[in-house]
């Protein structure tokens, strides 16, 4: 029987689509990802189904959008009976492993979001999504010296070093020790480049001067928004550079392990669960329906992908579930064959700077429509001619017919 491909998902946090050298960002130093892009299909119109961590992670692992997957509120755990991609591939003979940030267990809402309370929280084995091997942490946003626990570590253990380096290094070691008898599926989940943006980065990574940061045209100038955007983006891109290096080393190690074993290089997926506004439209963080928040990088190497191809068709991270299952069965995936992607926020997350309302919408290659919770139009953008989303057309009578056409695709919560 032909050996099925090994599959590696690398999932980051808050890394928006444009924040890569290959995407043209003058602030980004991403030589490893630029190299990966040259060997991959770049799904340049990819979006997260929900621009907030737990909702997006649940959709990514289950192939079902929130709240239908059981995650409606920020502190909702992924139901233990839920079928994930780990169950699907495990039943197809794969050895499955998860490394890093989970963010889908039952958490204590009163505990501080940043710090050791969440970082040291033990995720019970039954709440680990069906992965055969699991080593990680719930949350905590400790970009340095992470606490890990799991299959081999009954209690959390503190590891010295930059989080991306530690997690990628331990995942690389696991991959290097795989035998030839079973194909493997591995998810490596990293918090970076999520804030705190002022957190330390490894030696050799230089933080860009705030005055040198190049801002997009939709970031208001001359006030606190500009100052904050420059300050945060300087740290943001330092963490992007540091994590680019860690990711590059992981992929190189996985390729070297395959070569030693006489196997084909693994299929590699690189993405992020959401982006960050960074001052665009005067807003920060995520949950917002704007491009900076919902668009994410998505590179796929292998699985029949053409080297260096750019795909401008709409793609959602929720589709990776089915695509990965297809790869495991020796079939071609269906990525990039849809007319639109649905996007939504199923609830308001009561954390400063995040989006202030529930919304649902649809995004095509050229348009975006966003509705309020009651179904009334909130935002309509002509992305083809206004990529910075500077003109809201929701109340423009000349766009009424287009609005209604898009609205038919949005659907409602029951349908989704």
Radius of gyration of the chain (CA): 20
Q: How far apart are CA 340 and CA 219, in angstroms?
A: 27
Contact present, 42 and 299 (Cβ < 8 Å): yes
Confidence at residue 408, expressed as pLDDT on a 0 to 100 scale: 96
Confidence at residue 412, expressed as pLDDT on a 0 to 100 scale: 63
Kind of pairing between the strands at 184-189 and 7-12:
parallel
Burial category of 11 from C-beta neighbours within 10 Å (exposed 0-12, middle 13-18, buried 19 and up): buried
Q: How far apart are CA 146 and CA 159, in angstroms?
A: 6
Confidence at residue 180, expressed as pLDDT on a 0 to 100 scale: 83
Confidence at residue 375, expressed as pLDDT on a 0 to 100 scale: 96
Give the position of tokens 């989303």.
389
Query: Which tens digits make up the pLDDT trace of 268-289?
Result: 999 999 999 999 999 999 999 9
Query: Which tens digits make up the pLDDT trace of 301-338?
Result: 998 878 889 999 999 999 999 999 999 999 989 898 89
Confidence at residue 301, expressed as pLDDT on a 0 to 100 scale: 97
Which residue ranges of the chain lie beneath pLDDT 50?
A: 1, 414-416
- Tokens linked to 229: 């955007």
Nearest residue to 191 (alpha-carbon basis) of 276, 255, 272: 272
Confidence at residue 416, expressed as pLDDT on a 0 to 100 scale: 36
The structural domains of the chain, ordered by start, are 7-339 (3.40.720.10), 359-410 (no CATH)
Confidence at residue 103, expressed as pLDDT on a 0 to 100 scale: 97
């Amino acid at each position: 029987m032909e050996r099925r491909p090994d599959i590696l998902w690398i999932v980051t946090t808050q890394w928006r689509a444009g924040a890569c050298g290959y995407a043209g960002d003058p602030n980004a130093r991403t030589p490893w990802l630029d190299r990966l892009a040259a060997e991959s299909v770049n799904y340049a119109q990819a979006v997260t189904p929900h621009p907030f961590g737990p909702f997006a992670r649940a959709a990514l692992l289950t192939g079902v959008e929130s709240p239908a997957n059981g995650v409606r509120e920020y502190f909702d755990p992924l139901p233990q009976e839920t079928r994930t991609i780990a169950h699907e591939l495990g039943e197809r003979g794969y050895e499955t492993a998860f490394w890093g940030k989970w963010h889908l267990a039952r958490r204590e809402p009163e505990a501080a979001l940043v710090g050791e309370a969440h970082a040291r929280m033990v995720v019970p084995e039954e709440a680990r999504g069906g992965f055969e091997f699991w080593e990680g942490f719930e949350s905590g946003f400790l970009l340095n010296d992470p606490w890990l626990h799991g299959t081999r570590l009954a209690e959390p253990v503190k590891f010295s070093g930059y989080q991306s380096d530690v997690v990628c290094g331990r995942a690389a070691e696991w991959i290097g020790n795989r035998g030839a008898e079973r194909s493997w599926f591995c998810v490596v989940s990293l918090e970076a480049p999520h804030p705190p943006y002022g957190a330390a980065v490894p030696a050799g990574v230089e933080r860009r001067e705030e005055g040198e940061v190049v801002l997009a045209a939709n970031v208001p100038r001359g006030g606190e928004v500009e100052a904050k955007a420059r300050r945060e983006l300087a740290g943001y891109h330092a963490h992007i550079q540091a994590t680019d290096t860690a990711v590059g080393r992981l992929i190189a190690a996985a390729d070297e392990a395959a070569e030693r074993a006489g196997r084909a290089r693994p299929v590699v997926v690189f993405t992020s669960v959401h982006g960050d506004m960074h001052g665009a439209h005067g807003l920060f963080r995520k949950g917002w329906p704007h491009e900076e928040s919902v668009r994410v990088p998505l590179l796929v190497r292998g699985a029949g992908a053409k080297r260096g191809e750019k795909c401008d068709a709409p793609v959602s991270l929720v589709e990776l579930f089915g695509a990965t299952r297809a790869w495991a069965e020796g079939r071609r995936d269906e990525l990039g064959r849809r007319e639109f992607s649905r996007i939504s926020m199923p609830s308001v997350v009561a954390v400063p700077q995040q989006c202030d309302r529930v919304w649902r919408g649809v995004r095509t290659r050229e348009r975006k429509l966003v509705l309020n919770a009651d179904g009334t139009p909130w935002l309509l953008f002509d992305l083809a001619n206004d990529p910075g989303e500077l003109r809201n057309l929701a109340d423009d009578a000349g766009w009424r017919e287009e609005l209604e056409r898009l609205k038919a695709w949005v659907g409602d919560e029951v349908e989704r």
